[in-house]
Amino acid sequence: MEDDRMGKTVHGYCLKSRFSDDAFICNSLIGMYSKLGLQMSAEKLLYGLPKRDLVSWNAIISGCVRQNKFSEAIHKFVMMLEDGVLPNVVTLLSIITACSLMNQPMLFGWVHAWISKLQLGSNDFVVNSLVEMYSKNGLLHEGIKAFIQIWCIKGSESLDPISMAAIIRACAVSGSLRYAKAFHGLLLKQSFLLCTFLENSLIDMYGKLHQLDSAHNIFRRMKERDTVSWNSMISSFLKNNYPMKTLELLSELRLNVVDDLAPDFFTMSSSIQACAELASLHHGEMLHGYIVKSGFDADLILSNALIDMYAKSGKIEFSEKIFSSMDQKDLSTWNIMIQAYGIHGDGKSCFKDFMSLRNLGF
């Protein structure tokens, strides 16, 4: 509210000082109103301009997208074209976002055609957004086809890892092992030099597609592994119901002197879940000690995971102790504690915590 008033004060000063005739000042005011969510004020300024330029239209279009007015953004784009103003990268990124979130495949080809017409298909930001637009809406084939077209134009050496990772992520989200293997094969065939970032993406992709042997082979062959590499592999074992493999890899990480890395928050979270699935009190207590020693014990998510782990390992009193000592509790904390009492057949405590939860207004 204060920002709105300040913005209007600045606008008033510009009018009083006759700065409002200046195109740069007007565009700045349009951008300000759009960012404040005052779209009607922004449009009023826009339509009052004797000549509207690309900056003016971009501010209006991006404002529509920010406020989730996606059809309005498309409408403004068409108006911009009718006004004789051609789009640039900024415009098309907003329009790609609008088309993608509207889930209107009929518009995808139209926006893609504009990208080709303006020869913006070699721009990394545009490529990534285009691939995500197709893949997030279940059109992975078109996304990969678009990517390969760009590859042919730019050459493999000029494509950045972010663009590659967008396709790898799309393959994982689609659940298509055929596309995943085909794209991985294409990378190898083109002798594309895989960096740690891309190898991590491949591990995650194969893990999500339940191809643990492929994920593990990439992990073992990596020249350099970072914490994300270890976490991706650990998470892959856990999500594919191999909790013991998860803990074995954690132990290997802690003893590994080559990579010289330490487990982080994500490693701990996956490992506690593995202990809970195994109901392994021994491993759980060791992990708890490491968490306290590393200063992670104040974290809400890890505390919730520990409550769950101790309950499933038969130590409800440890769960209660952690629960009581927590300064901050969220809905998950209460649900986990209530479920813990349920696992142990303590209906009285279960009902008591449920009533406490209701009284707190959750």
pLDDT digit string, tens, across residues 23-76 = 566 776 777 777 777 777 777 777 677 788 888 888 888 888 988 989 999 998
Tokens found for residue 125? 């930001």
At residue 44, the pLDDT reads 75
Of 63-67, 222-226, 322-326, the one with minimum mean pLDDT is: 63-67
Other CB atoms within a 10 A radius of the CB of residue 157 amount to 9
Q: Is residue 56 situated within a structural domain?
A: yes
Mean pLDDT in residue range 121-128: 74
Residue 330 · residue 303 · CB < 8 Å: no
**5: in domain:** yes
The Cα–Cα gap between 33 and 17 comes to 19
At 316 the pLDDT is 94
Least trusted range by pLDDT, from 137-146, 305-314, 317-326: 137-146
Domain closes at, from 86, 120, 150: 86
| Confidence at residue 258, expressed as pLDDT on a 0 to 100 scale | 63
The pLDDT mean for the chain works out to 82
Range of the domain at 359: 291-362
Residue 268, C-beta contacts closer than 8 angstroms, at least 6 positions apart: 287, 290, 291, 294, 296, 302
Q: What is the DSSP string of 134-181?
A: HHHTT-HHHHHHHHHHHHHHH-GGG--HHHHHHHHHHHHHHT-HHHHH
Please say if the pLDDT value at position 17 is more than 90: no
Q: How confident is the model at residue 15 (pLDDT cuts 50, 70, 90)?
A: very low
Tokens 């050459």 map to which residue? Answer: 155
Banded model confidence at residue 362, pLDDT cuts 50, 70, 90: low
Amino acid 148: pLDDT:
65
Contact call for residues 313 and 284 (beta carbons, < 8 A): yes
How confident is the model at residue 9, as a pLDDT? Answer: 46
* CB-based contact 211:179 (threshold 8 Å): no
More confident position, 90 or 14: 90
pLDDT at 155: 58
Cβ neighbors of 321 (< 8 A, separation 6 or more) are: none
Angle, CA 261 vertex, CA 256 and CA 264 arms, to 5°: 120
The pLDDT > 90 percentage for the chain reads 35
Last residue of a domain, one of 37, 71, 86: 86
Mean pLDDT of 5-30: 52
Residue 235: pLDDT band with limits 50, 70, 90: very high
Among 359, 356, 288, 355, which residue's Cα sits nearest to residue 319?
Answer: 288
What pLDDT, on the 0 to 100 scale, is given for residue 149?
65
Residue 191 or 263, more confident: 263
147 within some domain: no
**Residue whose entry in the numeric block shows the structure tokens 């809406």:** 137
Query: Six-digit token pair at 8?
Result: 């209007």
**In-domain check, residue 355:** yes
214 pLDDT higher than 70 = yes
CA separation for the pair 110, 103 (Å, rounded): 14
One-letter amino acid for residue 2 of the chain:
E
What's this model's pTM, rounded to 2 decimal places? 0.68
- Please tell me whether residue 296 adopts helix, strand or coil conformation: coil
Lowest mean pLDDT among 192-196, 220-224, 343-347: 192-196
Check residue 307 and give its pLDDT. 95
Domain membership flag for residue 239 = no
Distance CA(106)–CA(195), nearest Å, equals: 36
Averaged pLDDT for residues 142-151 = 68
The residue that leads in pLDDT, 181 or 126, is: 181
How far is CA 179 from each of CA 127, 191, 314, 346, 353, rounded to the nearest angstrom?
18, 18, 44, 50, 48
Residue closest to 336 by CA, chosen among 306, 295, 293, 314: 306
pLDDT at 322 over 80: yes
Average the pLDDT over each of 108-117, 263-272, 283-292, 331-340 and give the range with the smallest value: 108-117
The domain boundary, picked from 86, 121, 149, lies at 86
What domain count does the chain have? Answer: 2
Which candidate, 305, 297, 313, 295, places its Cα nearest to that of 335? 305
- The predicted model gives 101-118 an average pLDDT of 82
* pLDDT at residue 280, rounded to an integer: 92
Backbone CA torsion sign across 231, 235, 236, 242: positive
Residues in the chain: 362
pLDDT reported for residue 11: 41
Q: Which two tokens stand for residue 78?
A: 């068409």
Mean pLDDT value of segment 146-165: 64
Whether residue 333 is contained in a domain is answered as yes
Task: Read off the tokens for 321.
Answer: 């102790």
In a domain, 41, yes or no: yes
Asked if residue 196 is part of any domain, the answer here is: no
Name the percent of the chain lying above pLDDT 70.
84
- Answer yes or no: is pLDDT of 127 > 60: yes
In this prediction, residues 205-229 reach a mean pLDDT of 95
Closest CA to 38 of 76, 12, 73, 64: 64
Which 3 state secondary structure label does DSSP give 183?
A: helix
The pLDDT score that the predictor gives to residue 2 is: 38
pLDDT confidence of residue 14: 45
